[in-house]
Amino acid sequence: MSDASMKSAFPHLLNGTTASRIVTKLQGQRLELQGSVRLYWDNAISRVVSIQAQADMMTPLMQLLENVDDVSLVFAHALITPECNLELGN
């Protein structure tokens, strides 16, 4: 995980020493996520009317960090959910 990715998704991890060991574990790591993208088609207008994307970020973080408390801290004030949805307005 790059510094830019952490700053964009998990800026709270970079604001102190509490999470420094978590940041160290995440830096430079590559997370492989399982997910899906759904396209919703409207036959009346012959167009895609909605796209829904979802991915599991929890499983690879559990494998990397090896404890639920650290994973919980990662998502506590994150700008992204464990399902990879953006948390706008936080």
Whether 81 is in a domain gets the answer no
**Residue 18 structural domain:** 3-76
| Per-residue pLDDT, 89 | 65
Whether 84 is in a domain gets the answer no
Whether 21 is in a domain gets the answer yes
| Per-residue pLDDT, 25 | 93
Spatial distance between the Cα atoms of 70 and 76, rounded to a whole number of angstroms = 10
User: Is residue 6 classed as helix, strand or coil in its secondary structure?
Assistant: helix
Whether 89 is in a domain gets the answer no
| Per-residue pLDDT, 90 | 52
- Say whether pLDDT at 17 is over 90: no
Q: pLDDT digit string (tens) for 21-49? A: 899 999 999 999 999 999 999 999 999 99
Whether 70 is in a domain gets the answer yes
Structure tokens at 82: 């464990």
Q: How confident is the model at residue 86 (pLDDT cuts 50, 70, 90)?
A: confident
Identify any residues that bridge with 50 across adjacent strands, giving them in sequence order: 40
Torsion of CA 73, 79, 81, 86, to 10 degrees: 180
Whether 87 is in a domain gets the answer no
User: How many domains in the chain?
Assistant: 1
Whether 23 is in a domain gets the answer yes
* Residue from 67, 68, 70, 57 nearest 1 by CA: 57
